[in-house]
Structures are given as structure tokens and as C-alpha cells.
Chain A
Amino acid sequence: MSTRALEVAVGGFVATGLALLAWLAISVSGLDFSPSQDEYKVSARFSNIAGLKPRAKVTSAGVTVGRVDSIRLDPQDGQAIVTLAIRGEFDQFPLDTSASILTAGLLGEKYIGLRMGADFDYLIEGDEIEDTQSSLVLEDLIGRFLLNSQGD
């Protein structure tokens, strides 16, 4: 095998590998290259986030508007503080917007759904969403159902 042909073959091999890696990065893992100045962060407190994970989607009316950036525990009152990164183009969420932790489908993962409020001022970087609805825990539901059915 001539040296030239060899070098081309090896170069082609490495280039193909790297190109496929790029494809895996973008099309498969959805690596997002949009600059993060395009997002603004707001926080929300929940009493139970059960199963919500960072990078979970944040939607409004079913449309993805952002991602969960981080989840922290407030050691003083035991609440979970979730930081949402909302894409810059969606900058018209009223201050009284509510955030609920919802489940996608039967086996689905948790995500945050935003419901717009009616305030005239909009949420900006650093604001906190006051109206939150924590994750529904199955045991509590069953407990409430039993309690209710006993009362009848």
C-alpha cells in the first residue's frame, strides 16, 4: 500500500470518527450551542420535587421554554429551591405565573409546567415564582382518597 494512499485512509478514518462524534453530540444528545446569555434564570420553591432532575424541561402550554438549571435544598426550611433557565425569547411571563411539577406519560419523567398569570409586570433574571405546586406523591393521594371515601 503506497504511503499516500495509507495516509488518506488513516486520515479518512479519523475524520469519519470525529464527524460521527459531532453528529452524536448534536443530533443524539441534543448538545445545545446557543450562548447562555440567551437565558434568564428564575427560582421557585417546592415542598417536594420527587423525581425532578436537572436538565428536565420547562414548558408552558406544552411548549418547551427552558430547562431546569439546578436544584438545591434550603437547609433552613427544608424546601427545594429549583432554578429554571428560561430562553430569552420567552420574556413575557407575568409575575404571578405558577409552576407545577408534572409527570410526562405513565413512565414519564418529571418536568415543570408554567401557567401564565395576569400581572402586568414580567418575570426577569433573579425573580422568584411564588405560586408553586409540588409533585404529587402517590402515597399521599392514596391516603387522601381513603380519607375521603371513609367520610362518605
Chain B
Amino acid sequence: MINGLAALGRSTLKQLAGLGRAFMILIQAVLRPWGPGASPRLLWPEIYSAGVLSLVIVAVSGLFIGMVLALQGYSILVDFGSEQSLGQLVSLTLLRELGPVVTALLFAGRAGSAMTAEIGLMKTTEQLASLSMLGVDPVQRVVAPRFWAGVISMPLLAIVFSAMGIWGGHLVGVDWLGVDAGAFWGNMQASVDFRIDVVNGLIKAFVFGIFVTWIAVYQGMDLIPTAEGISRATTRTVVYGSLAVLALDFFLTAMMFGDY
């Protein structure tokens, strides 16, 4: 009994210590991202790695999801004679929800796990220890550029996703299913508000970017430096990152769209 309690206490302390370390890494990356051996120029290769290399999967996914939304939406709306509202349905669903959320999930899986693996490998091969021996803060050189790359790339990727999705919705709705183009775009424009829908979607993407990237870099820094440790850490990045996105989405949606 006492052993159980002691184990629980130890485990809790361990979790708290982990959370503390994660927080310290975040503060350092945000407040002091540059230093000796760590210049802002390190950001560009990381934006390429996190953002540009994710473009294809995000764009293609967005296209397909937009097309599916139009298909499903049409089949439901046509029963009410309201297929004119298809543009509205597709664009609002994408801008407010699917754009930021699905992009973040894809990002966690593709870019997030890559970051965790890279940092973890550098830890395992003692490159991080070498950096500190050479007087360079590994958080500044390795973590900060990746963190900022994630925060900048996520909203951009979410925009690409939503735009591709709306285009996909148009392709299916207007070109294939025959919804009137004027009605499609006209109703859309009338019901999509820039501030409420587009900007809020961007804010969501920005918040998701912060959390997913934070989890990814922390898992990389904190893992057990073995091959198995890296594998487990990348899995945690994807799982925790995805769960965080979904939970945050609920809270953000409630705050933003709760009171009509």
C-alpha cells in the first residue's frame, strides 16, 4: 500500500519535472531564440523542412476533403431544396474547423514527428552535448528555429488547405453536380465573414502550431537516447499532438463561435 503511494508520488513528481522542463524550453525558445552559434538564418531551412515539404500532403488532403464535403453536403441539402447553400457549407466547415484541425493533425504526423526524430538523433549521437561543450545553447541552435518554423508554417498551411478545399468543393458542386456558380459563390460571400470565419480559423491554426511544435521539440529533447527511445518519442509526439489539437479545438470553438 505504502509502496503504491510512493510510486504514485514519484511518478507525479516525474511528470511535474517533465512539464517544468518543457516549459523552460518553451520560454527559452520564445524569449531568447538567438545566441552564440545560433543566428536567425537557421530559421529558413526549418521553414522549408516543416512548411514547404508539407505543402503537397496538405494541398492534396484539402482538395479531397473539399470534394467529399461537397458530395455529402449536396446529397443532404438537395432534399430541402437548399443546394444553393452548398458554397456556404463547404467554405464555413473548412475555414472554421477542418482547415485548421486537419492541417494540424497532418502537421503533427509529418513535420512534428520529423522534428522529434531529428532532435532525438542529435541527442543520441551526443551532438547536443558537443554543442554545449562548445559553448552553444542547444535550445537556441536546435529547438528555437524549429519552434518558430512550426508556428509560422501552420497558419500558412491551413490557408492552403482551406483554399484547396473550397476549390475542390467548387469542382464537385458546380462543375459536376450542377449547382449554380453564382449561387455557390454568392451565398458563400454573403455568409462568410472575414473576421469571424477566416481570422478565427487562422487564430486556431496559430494556436495549434504552437502546441504541436512545442510537444514535438520537447519530446525530441527529453527522450531516452536510444533507437527505441526515439521511436517511442515520435509516437508520443503524434499522439499527444493530435489529442492536444482536438481538445484545444473544442475550447477555441466554444470561445469563438459559442455566442451567436
Contact = CB atoms under 8 A, between A and B. Distances in A.
Give yes or no for direct A-B contact (beta carbon below 8 Å): yes
B17 interface: no
The majority secondary structure among interface residues of chain A is: helix
A28 B160 contact: no
Contacts of B191: 109
Contacts of A55: 193
Interface residues of A, number: 28
B160 A29 contact: no
Contacts of B197: 29
Given A29-B189, A30-B189, A106-B81, A13 B194 contact: no
Contacts of A105: 81-82, 84
Interface residues of B, number: 35
Contacts of A18: 156
B156 A13 contact: yes
B188 A28 contact: yes
B159 interface: yes
B80 interface: yes
Interface stretch (A19-27, A74-82, A88-96, A122-130): A19-27
Contact of A28 (B152, B189, B202): B189
A144 B197 CA distance: 40
Given A6-B44, A29-B197, A107 B52 contact: no
Contact of B80 (A20, A24, A106): A106
Contact of A24 (B44, B52, B159): B159
B146 to A, nearest CB: 14
For the complex of A and B, 4 pairs with smallest distance between CB atoms: A30-B189, A17-B156, A29-B192, A20-B163
Interface of A: 1, 3, 6-7, 9-10, 12-14, 16-18, 20-21, 23-25, 27-31, 55, 57, 105-107, 109
